Amino acid sequence: MVENNSENLDPKVELEQQETVETQAVAVEEAVAPVEVAEEVEAAKEEVVAQAEEKAAEFAEPVVIPVEKKAKAPKVVVAEPADFDWDALEEEDKGFSGRTKKDLETLYEKTLTTVQEKEVVEGRVISMNKREVVVDIGYKSDGIVSLNEFRYNPELKPKDLVEVYIESLEDLKGQMILSHKKARALRSWDRVNEALDRDEVIKGYIKCRTKGGMIVDVFGIEAFLPGSQIDVKPIRDYDMYVGKTMEFKVVKINHEFRNVVVSHKALIEAELELQKKEIISKLEKGQVLEGTVKNITSYGVFIDLGGVDGLIHITDLSWGRITHPNEIVELDQKLNVVILDFDDDKKRIALGLKQLTPHPWDSLGAELKVGDSVKGKVVVMADYGAFVEIAAGVEGLIHVSEMSWSQHLRSAQDFLKVGDEIEAQILTLDRDERKMSLGIKQLKSDPWQEIDTVFGVGTKHKATVRNFTNFGVFVEIQEGVDGLIHISDLSWTKKIKHPSEFTSIGSEIDVVVLDIDKDNRRLSLGHKQLEENPWDVFETIFSVDSIHEGTVVELFDKGATIALPYGVEGFATPRHLVKEDGSQAQLEEKMEFKVIEFSKAAKRIILSHSRVFEDEKKAEETAKRKTQAKATTKAVKQVKETNSAEKTTLGDISELAALRSQMEADEQKEN
């Protein structure tokens, strides 16, 4: 080894030696320093540099080989001494402060992350583009993850920590392949259970709609989000939530079927509960608040007052009549409402909208008075009358009795219907009570003022059947002129038990005026009086003992009704319905009847069938008796004549006795 005399070295050579030492130090540093060097490695590096400088001082004077200078950066290449023993340098322990190369390698390896394929590790996002995310897991190279696997987390940014699954440390292109989706799937079940136990708020990606709700991606698991758990207010468009990332709470887990149910509403309710308590504590009757239309029903509108719901009944939406609340408000509309009432717990809050505007009755014209004619629209119908709106919120009632001059009972629907534009007269007006009664018949003349001239006694008219009673028929000759046909004035001949047997409601019938009661507005009418009384003729046709063919049209306990010619009916008792063979007459059976009684005043005919053959038999027997009597008389006469000529013999006496016995027997048989 050549002695090193530092005092005699040329400055240029000394500079080159110094560069050589620094170069060797850098080489050592590059060999032992990792990307992130620990403090212990840094101390070791300083020792190596110091030892290298001491060794360099012992080297022989190096040979300087000049090198052509480049234009920009001249460089001097120093040749290594030919006799420098590098192996001895590496094997010498004392050059590294007692540390061996193996120890340094072990120390260096500790700075690197040892990873294996098919395991889940945590990495840090280095960068990302529209397709991929670059993740550093502490390995010698970074991994690539598809950006689609992070669509549930649109807020992902560089430096965020994420879990990844190592699919391959090096593919054909030398690239490490990672999967965030598989990492989430492997650890998802444990994380979901932890979220339920800790009541933790988690993020999920809404993938699609399903029956009754939505499917949400939570940690790679498909969880179910019921439609009722999306929001505190009813959801009208579920599709607007698809593709969104929202916060949820795990509310239920079925371990057997591995089903998970999440809720977004639970997060909102917690916030609304605080707002609700604050609002309820400040509620006062008459207070005006701003709210949002949450739901519309046929009976009213639910208003969201900021966590507390109130109801505006349909009658409190407008001073005027409305058929449905959607005529006034629409969903999600913001409006001011007034608190009308609430219960002790303030859970049911009654709100009003119309109360924020003046009552229409207050602006009703002062010149309006009873007797004036007004125009309006029928808004409500009832059996007893119709409500007519003459101005917004100002209504009057037309009672059914004020719709027509007619006196018989009718329904208001017979005259008006909802939506009709009509003219009416004010009958009563109470501004304090805000009530008004109207009439429409007053705009027409009263037909009863001229009843005597138009509908005098004896005049004939056509009428319409309006109603029945047990005692007669109510008819209408014209509107306002009604009359009654008594049941006895319907027919001269038929025995009518109920008017429905003779006519029907709505049919026309010819009538004649029998009497007028102008004070009570009543007419007595008749129908049979349009024809002459046929009983004057019937008296000659159906005389007593006359025989006519009749039909049994009705049977009952006390007898039967018999239909006779000319539309006349008679009556026969059961005794008079016995036929010659002893049997009883049957319904619809035709046979001969004898009139045994006729009453023109009572319009009654009493008939008998049995008397027909009984009277014939009696007539025959009477004729026979007369014949026998004649024969007896003749025989007696002959005997007398014989006695006058000669004495009576015993044989003659016997013949007369036999004839007498025969006559007595005939008399007993007849009786």
Q: What is the DSSP string of 319-382?
A: SS--SSGGGT--TT-EEEEEEEEE-TTS-SEEEESGGGS--GGGGS-TT--TT-EEEEEEEEEE
Identify the CATH class of 199-267.
mainly beta
Structure token pair of residue 154: 């649109």
Q: Which fold has domain 360-443?
A: OB fold (Dihydrolipoamide Acetyltransferase, E2P) (2.40.50)
The answer to whether residue 621 scores a pLDDT higher than 80 is no
For the ranges 22-26, 284-288, 488-492, the lowest mean pLDDT is seen at 22-26
**Stretch 66-74: mean pLDDT:** 44
Residue located via tokens 């360099």:
56
pLDDT score recorded for residue 664? 67
Q: For residues 444 and 462, is the Cβ–Cβ distance under 8 A?
A: no
pLDDT score recorded for residue 643? 58
pLDDT per residue over 96-136, tens digit each?
A: 555 566 777 777 666 666 777 888 888 899 998 988 999 98
Q: For residues 255 and 289, is the Cβ–Cβ distance under 8 A?
A: no
Backbone φ and ψ of 364, nearest 5°: -70, 135
Q: Which residues of 567-585 are buried (b: 16+ CB within 10 A; e: fewer)?
A: ebbbbbeeebbbeeeeeeb
Bridge-based pairing of strands 176-179 and 161-168 is antiparallel
pLDDT score recorded for residue 71? 43
Question: Amino acid identity, residue 325?
Answer: P
Distances (CA, A) of 271 to 165, 166, 226, 276: 37, 41, 20, 9
Which residues are CB-contacts of 622 (< 8 A; sequence separation ≥ 6)? none
Q: Could you tell me the pLDDT band of residue 642, with boundaries at 50, 70 and 90?
A: low
How far does Cα 223 stand from its chain's mean position? 30
Nearest Cα to Cα of residue 250 among 270, 269, 234, 229: 229
Which residues are CB-contacts of 565 (< 8 A; sequence separation ≥ 6)? 548, 549
The answer to whether residue 374 scores a pLDDT higher than 70 is yes
Give 454: exposed, middle or buried? Use CB within 10 Å, 0-12, 13-18, 19+.
middle
The CATH number assigned to the domain with range 120-183 reads: 2.40.50.140
The answer to whether residue 558 scores a pLDDT higher than 80 is yes
Q: For residues 467 and 408, is the Cβ–Cβ distance under 8 A?
A: yes
Q: For residues 372 and 425, is the Cβ–Cβ distance under 8 A?
A: yes
Residue percentage of the chain with pLDDT more than 70:
77
CA distance 309 to 350: 9
The answer to whether residue 261 scores a pLDDT higher than 50 is yes
pLDDT score recorded for residue 25? 45
For the ranges 31-45, 139-153, 275-289, 653-667, the lowest mean pLDDT is seen at 31-45
Backbone φ and ψ of 100, nearest 5°: -90, 165
Mean pLDDT, rounded, of the chain: 77
For the ranges 51-60, 235-244, 286-295, 567-576, the lowest mean pLDDT is seen at 51-60
Backbone φ and ψ of 484, nearest 5°: -120, 130
The answer to whether residue 79 scores a pLDDT higher than 70 is no
Q: Which fold has domain 282-356?
A: OB fold (Dihydrolipoamide Acetyltransferase, E2P) (2.40.50)
DSSP letters for 557-575: TTEEEEE-GGG-EEEE-GG
Nearest Cα to Cα of residue 480 among 522, 420, 427: 522
Positive/negative CA dihedral, 27, 31, 36, 40:
negative
Nearest Cα to Cα of residue 594 among 570, 618, 574: 570
**Stretch 447-461: mean pLDDT:** 81
pLDDT score recorded for residue 409? 60
pLDDT score recorded for residue 110? 67
pLDDT score recorded for residue 11? 44
DSSP letters for 219-263: TTEEEEEEGGGS-SSPPS-GGGGTT-EEEEEEEEEETTTTEEEEE
The answer to whether residue 43 scores a pLDDT higher than 70 is no
CA distance 667 to 670: 5
Question: Amino acid identity, residue 442?
Answer: Q
Question: Amino acid identity, residue 436?
Answer: M
**Stretch 462-478: mean pLDDT:** 87
Is 455 in a helix, a strand, or coil? coil
CA distance 564 to 581: 23
The answer to whether residue 180 scores a pLDDT higher than 70 is yes
DSSP code of residue 578: B
Tell whether pTM > 0.75.
Answer: no
CATH superfamily of 447-530: Nucleic acid-binding proteins (2.40.50.140)
For the ranges 281-290, 342-351, 586-595, the lowest mean pLDDT is seen at 342-351
Would you give the end-to-end CA distance of the chain in angstroms? 193
The CATH number assigned to the domain with range 535-608 reads: 2.40.50.140
Q: Could you tell me the pLDDT band of residue 322, with boundaries at 50, 70 and 90?
A: confident
Q: Could you tell me the pLDDT band of residue 531, with boundaries at 50, 70 and 90?
A: confident
SS3 string of 269-332?
A: HHHHHHHHHHHHHCCCCCCEEEEEEEEECCCEEEEECCCCEEEEEHHHCCCCCCCCHHHCCCCC
The answer to whether residue 90 scores a pLDDT higher than 60 is no
Residue located via tokens 């054909």:
172
How far does Cα 352 stand from its chain's mean position? 25
For the ranges 78-82, 613-617, 633-637, 663-667, the lowest mean pLDDT is seen at 78-82
Number of Cβ within a 10 Å radius of residue 29: 16
